[in-house]
Amino acid sequence: METGCLSLTSDGSNPRELRLDGKLAVVTGGGSGIGRAIARKFAAHGASICILDVSRQAAESTCQEIIGAGGRASAYACDVTDRAQVKIKFEELAGQGRLDILVNNAGISHIGTLESTPEEDFDRVFRVNVKGFYNCMYACIGHMRAQGGGVILNLASVAGSAGIPDRFAYSMSKGAVIAMTYSVARDYLSSKIRCNCISPARVHTPFVDGYLRNNYPGREKEMFEKLSKSQPIGRMAEPEEVAGLALFLCSEEASFITGVDYPLDGGFFNLRG
């Protein structure tokens, strides 16, 4: 009996494989970490990928990986905090055809409490993590309305919904991402634009490795294990796991899902002792 569940075979393939054939997906911050994993995953499932990254070199590196695997990708240097620059890039992309999917991923982290967060750091986190998301959604929403629909996926964080120590500015920004997601989903229902977000717990990215090297020299392994065990499941997520959920939410299999913040947290919210 067929059910609505997705089932995987032993080799990881899917008899009802999620496909993005014919779709154009824009992935911001696609040059590394979670964005890179999402770009690769979407390309492997049929999408044409446009990577926007502040580092053109990083964007091109991801593109070469995708093209080398038989996919289609293009790289663009873009600072998401620069509204004029973002507008130009999205108009250029829209001129090539439909803008089917936007994955708002480009972001920065920050360590600090209210008192230890300088104003310039607070402003920088806001510009990248909040205004950057706003700029990209603003630049693409009109094109999506005109073409009769689209999908926006924002990368938030459990920090946007939970009190996490020393993450004052970062938590502020991710809470804003969640709120923007709800608002856009509600306002554009009639335009057939779906908008969701993913809130991961800790994900093992190059940022984590760099943070441990810089702050705990000689104790990297010890601190990595400590951070890993802060998730009840006992480890950090891998970028590919975030990419798997992103693929589902941007596919037609999720056509009935909008205005949802999806935790990908290893039990962080519900299973903590």
Structure tokens at 110: 């920050």
pLDDT one-digit tens code per residue, 158-171: 999 999 999 999 99
**Phi, psi dihedrals of residue 166, rounded to the nearest 5°:** 60, 35
| Secondary structure (3-state) at 31 | coil
Which single residue is written with the structure tokens 């941007």?
A: 250
The answer on pLDDT for 8 being more than 60 is no
pLDDT, tens digit (0-9, with 9 covering 90-100), for 72-122: 999 999 999 999 999 999 999 999 889 999 999 999 999 999 999 999 999
Residue 13 has pLDDT above 70, yes or no: no
CB 273 within 8 A of CB 234: no
Amino acid type, 152: I
Nearest to 76 by CA among 49, 100, 98: 49
170 catalytically annotated: yes
Give the model's pLDDT for residue 196.
Answer: 98
pTM above 0.85, yes or no: yes
CA dist., res. 49 & res. 171, Å (int): 29
pLDDT tens digits, 125-141: 999 999 999 999 999 99
Residue 3: pLDDT over 50: no
Position 273 scores a pLDDT of: 62
Rounded-to-integer distance, Cα 224 and Cα 47, Å: 35
| Domains observed in the chain | 24-201+238-264 (3.40.50.720), 204-236 (no CATH)
Please write the tens of the pLDDT for every residue from 202-247: 999 888 888 889 888 999 999 999 989 888 999 999 999 999 999 9
Structure tokens at 195: 């908008």
Of 16-25, 60-69, 205-214, 231-240, minimum mean pLDDT range: 205-214
Catalytic residue (one of 170, 182, 216, 262): 170
